[in-house]
Amino acid sequence: MKRFPISFFFFAGFFFLLGMTNESKATTKKVLLLNLAVKYQRIPAFPLTPFDSTLIAPFFKKYSKFNFLKPEVMELYSKHQFHYLWYDSKGINEFADLLYNKINNLDQEGVRIKVPYQQELRDIFQDEEKMNKSNLEVELLLSTLYFFYADNVFKGLDIQKSTELGWYLPRKKQSYVNRLDSLLQDPALINKPNKGVLGQYYLLKEALQNYRNIEKKGGWNPIEIPKKMKSLQLGDTSAVVLQIRKRLFISGDLKTDSQKNVFDNELLTGILKYKERNVFTTDSVLLPKHIKEMNVTVSERIKTIMINMERCRWISPSLTQNNRYIIVNIPAFTLTFFKDGKLALLSKVVVGKSMNKTAVFSGQMSQIIFSPYWNVPPSILRKEILPAIAKNSNYLAKNDMEWVGNRVRQRPGEQNALGKVKFVFPNSHIIYMHDTPSKSLFEQDTRAFSHGCIRVARPRDLAIMVLEGDTNWPIEKIDEAMNRGVEKTYNLKTKIPVYIGYFTAWVDREGLVHFYDDIYAHDEKLAELLFTD
């Protein structure tokens, strides 16, 4: 059959109208053009007559478990003058089927939740009449289902709950009313990454599928650590090597399982990869603590991935669209400086101990202070300095400290707790980043030792990066200011966003998933909300 271009039918319709009487032209023109548009998919064939808006309230009385979504449903239909959205000339549209499939597979999105009214939903897609003929209850149920999906997959827990969990990074604000218009016009978008969600979410989603595949195949067995084993090194022979090799093969750290009981270079390659993914020092010695970490079950790893997918829902991608920004991941003990979307600096950090947790928040770096004084916080003065003075009257002099009024401060110099430079981003948590004289702490695997502030292993490099492009601060001047022993404050010409986050699972740019210890038990608290039936 010969196919004609869409324009042919519109021109044919136009000339047909010319031969009609004025009395019937208006009505026939509307019907003809609408039918042509529907036939060739220019617009959907929603019923022309709007429904009674007062019928929305009774719907939510019947489906009261969805009542929290009523404001968004009202906003949606107010925008569309209360016309049907889920029906076309063939009945329920394509996107409705795709949405129903997504709802039935929420576990793929890292969501474990019981969907209300499942039987009513099944009835819709098994009832030919409901599928083919417009029905207001079905219409409203599908719209509500869409917002339920968006609420759980894209938005996550409400702001109040995330704040109660100690998450003070700004939450994204996004309406999914407008997105529905795009999805109705192009249903395939539901299977593509949502630009309103942090890209890390989709990387974790892939990792989730990978670990679920591992779980389906039986996961990995716990490794029995010999009681007398202190360490394993290259060349060592032991039955436990067989178990370690198999474990690393299952998790993808080893490409093959040679089933050898010798600690050879092939095994070392897998061990180094595993250590890198689990925030261990990447040396050739395998200790019992490393094997203990390998014994974390695949099901626990799956939960950790899901928990961090939830955190990704809370972050707007716009936060990372600045030319320069800094991210500190507390459990990873790392600081990353991004410039023009690329990693420009990576540094180890020390964060707050469990009793002095580093807060999860954001700020704008506005100052650098070279050779800073350390103004001892009142809590440290009360709990540590005063008791030390009571035991040793020379404590202040010994530590290069002095009284200023009723406060104590430490002078700039080699002993200064803040080291040679301090990075200020004003915030209510009184947290900043700084150098430290205690360099040995950066060699530890777990680096939670501070009173809450963030100690940086590469402070000079960070200062150079922050001041890059500022003609007032060549590298020589930076070095001089850091070593002069006289406090110097400089206000940055351009503020730099600083984001302090908490992610215990993270996929790097090579596609490797990293796991970090839940040092503040934030995962435990979030898991109680996500996995409680």
CA 515 – CA 521 distance, rounded (Å): 14
Residues 418, 483: Cα–Cα separation, whole Å? 13
Check residue 216 and give its pLDDT: 97
Mean pLDDT of 446-452: 95
Q: Has this prediction a pTM greater than 0.85?
A: yes
CA atoms within 13 A on the CB side of 140: 25
Q: What whole-number distance in Å separates Cα of residue 327 and Cα of residue 320?
A: 9
What is the chain's mean pLDDT, rounded?
A: 90
Please report the pLDDT score of residue 128 as a whole number: 82
**What residues contact 178, with CB distance under 8 A and at least 6 apart?**
none
Tally of CB atoms within 10 A around 161: 12
* Cα 451 to the center of its chain, rounded Å: 26
Q: Which amino acid makes up residue 341?
A: G
User: Would you say residue 29 has pLDDT above 70?
Assistant: no
- Predicted local distance difference test score (pLDDT) of residue 47: 54
The pLDDT of residue 464 is above 60? yes
pLDDT of residue 45: 47
* 494 pLDDT tier (thresholds 50, 70, 90): very high
Residue 233's pLDDT is what?
Answer: 95
pLDDT for residue 172: 77
Residue 527 has pLDDT above 90, yes or no: yes
Enclosing H/E stretch for 270: helix 265-277
Query: Cα–Cα distance between 475 and 492 in angstroms, integer?
Result: 16
Inform me whether the pLDDT recorded for 399 exceeds 60: yes
User: How many CB atoms within 10 Å of residue 390?
Assistant: 9
> Is the predicted pLDDT of residue 291 greater than 90, yes or no?
yes
Could you give the angle at the alpha carbon of 21 between the alpha carbons of 6 and 40, nearest 5°? Answer: 15
For position 3, what pLDDT does the model report? 41
Q: Are 200 and 507 in contact (CB under 8 A)?
A: yes
- pLDDT of 23 strictly over 60: no
Reply yes or no on whether the pLDDT at 19 is more than 60: no
pLDDT of residue 6: 37
pLDDT tier for residue 48 given thresholds of 50, 70 and 90: low
CB burial class (10 A; 0-12, 13-18, 19+) of residue 183? Answer: middle
User: Binning pLDDT at 50, 70 and 90, where does residue 89 land?
Assistant: confident
Over residues 235-256, the mean pLDDT reads 96
Tens of pLDDT, residue by residue over 294-352, are: 999 999 999 999 999 999 999 988 887 889 999 999 999 999 999 998 999 999 999 99
pLDDT band at 427, cuts 50/70/90? very high
Please tell me the least confidently modeled range out of 83-92, 252-261, 420-429, 435-444: 83-92
Give residue for tokens 């218009």.
181
- Residue 139 burial class via C-beta count within 10 angstroms: exposed 0-12, middle 13-18, buried 19 and up: buried
C-alpha separations of 443 from 96, 272, 341, 395 in Å: 55, 16, 29, 28
360 burial (CB, 10 Å; 0-12 / 13-18 / 19+) is buried
Q: Give the residue from 441, 443, 510 showing the smallest Cα distance to 281.
A: 443
Lowest mean pLDDT among 18-32, 114-128, 341-355, 434-448: 18-32
Give me the mean pLDDT over the 64-90 stretch: 94
pLDDT (mean) for 463-483: 97
The pLDDT value recorded for residue 316 is: 85
Q: Minimum mean pLDDT among 116-130, 382-396, 476-490: which range? A: 116-130
Length, in residues, of the chain: 533
Provide long-range contacts, Cβ within 8 A and 24+ apart, for 67-70. Answer: 69/144, 69/147, 69/148, 69/151
- Report the pLDDT value the prediction gives residue 191, as an integer from 0 to 100: 92
Per DSSP (E only), the strands in 271-396 are: 324-329, 334-339, 342-352, 361-370, 374-375
Residue 206 has pLDDT above 80, yes or no: yes
Q: What mean pLDDT comes out for the span 92-103?
A: 94
- Residue 131 has a pLDDT of 82
Mean pLDDT within 275-299: 95
pLDDT of 24 higher than 50? no
In the predicted model, what is the mean pLDDT of residues 192-200?
90
Sequence-distant contacts of 516-520: CB under 8 A, at least 24 apart? 516/278, 516/279, 516/329, 516/331, 516/332, 517/279, 517/331, 517/446, 518/331, 519/330, 519/331, 519/351, 519/354, 519/446, 519/448, 520/166, 520/330, 520/331, 520/354, 520/357
Token representation of residue 438: 């205690």
Report, as an integer, the average pLDDT of 274-294.
Answer: 95
